[in-house]
Structure 1
Amino acid sequence: MTPPPDSREGAGRWHRTFLGEKEQVRAARLFVKTHLPDHLDAELIISELATNAVEHTRTGQPGGLFTTTVKRNPDGTAYIEIADQGGPAVFGLPTPNREGGRGLYLVTALATAWGFKGDAAGRTVWVELPPPAP
């Protein structure tokens, strides 16, 4: 199954659907870099969110998909979101002695705000970014 190409929703807003495979995280980073080239942290953030979707939701199962949306606002701020196919995963604090589980700390440090909505049937994680540094 091939996801559709980038879609433009309106001025400064794009979305694209990706296969729920680890290799597609790189494609999601490129998509974000293409549309938000001056927001250098956006690549790191989308990498974390896409990886979480593939590893911790039904998106990572055969036939799974995730959708990335980016929006460039007139004031220089940006908005990113990842919509996945849900699952039993919950957001929480990292476990000591575990190698992973700290990516959302990075998102918190780099974003103006972030959050999630949805449930086990499907979640959307969103991030607001400040204007890029001069």
Structure 2
Amino acid sequence: MATERSWHMTVPHHAQGTRAARHRLRAELAESVPAVLLTDATTVAAELLGNAVRHAAPLPGGTVRLSWRLCTDTTSQVVEIRVTDGGAGATPRIRRVGPDSADGRGLYLVAALAADWGVARDGLGQSVWAKLRHPAGCTA
């Protein structure tokens, strides 16, 4: 039988707000997922939140929204992370960067850690989401 839990929070569209969101995600998932999945989920959330602050407009009220969902069944645990902002001029995409580039690796890192990721637009704004999967029963 599968279980599912979800969380949502809205924070100010700046670095302090995104830091609070990362800390809350980590605290909420710490007792429920293996350390490797917790680390990967925190890293992905940090990258998506950072991109939202650097590259996108805020939601109304000067905010950004972080949502995450944990689904557990007999074969795996899946953490889906979604960051919603006011959108940017261009659709988020992985960029090619050189070894000396100071930035531009965020979505590359998200794609490397996630089983799947993408971008969705709705009436609220633009969401970038990622799904991270870990085998059930594995504690590494």
Deviation at residue 42 of structure 1 after TM alignment: 0.9
Q: Given the alignment of the two structures, is residue 110 of structure 1 paired with residue 121 of structure 2, yes or no?
A: no
TM-score, length basis structure 1: 0.80
Distance in 2 separating the partners of 1:31 and 1:94: 32
Distance in 2 separating the partners of 1:32 and 1:125: 16
Q: Kindly, what percent of the aligned residue pairs are identical? A: 34
TM-score, length basis structure 2: 0.77
Report the AA paired with residue 52 of structure 1. Answer: N
Report the equivalent of 1:7.
none
Report the AA paired with residue 31 of structure 1. Answer: R
Distance in 2 separating the partners of 1:25 and 1:123: 17
Deviation at residue 90 of structure 1 after TM alignment: 3.1
Q: What are the Cα deviations for residues 12-39 of structure 1, in whole angstroms up to 9, with x where unaligned?
A: 1110001101111211111210222232
Report the equivalent of 2:7.
14
Which structure would you say has the larger RCO, counting Cα contacts within 8 Å and 6 or more residues apart?
2
Deviation at residue 63 of structure 1 after TM alignment: 4.3
> What is the number of residues matched between the two proteins?
122
Q: Given the alignment of the two structures, is residue 81 of structure 1 paired with residue 82 of structure 2, yes or no?
A: yes
Distance in 2 separating the partners of 1:52 and 1:94: 16
Structure 2's unaligned 5+ residue stretches are: none
Structure 1: 4+ residue segments shifted above 2 A: 89-92, 94-98
Distance in 2 separating the partners of 1:130 and 1:53: 23
2:12–2:18 contact (8 Å) kept in structure 1:
no
Distance in 2 separating the partners of 1:12 and 1:55: 29
Report the equivalent of 1:32.
25
C-alpha RMSD of matched pairs (Å): 2.2
Report the AA paired with residue 55 of structure 1. Answer: R
Distance in 2 separating the partners of 1:91 and 1:125: 8
| Structure number with larger C-alpha Rg | 2
Report the equivalent of 1:71.
69
Distance in 2 separating the partners of 1:27 and 1:68: 11
Q: What are the Cα deviations for residues 60-113 of structure 1, in whole angstroms up to 9, with x where unaligned?
A: 9x9421111111102221111000011213323144453111111111111110
Matches within 5 A, 1:48-67: 48-59=47-58, 63-67=61-65
1:56–1:87 contact (8 Å) kept in structure 2:
yes
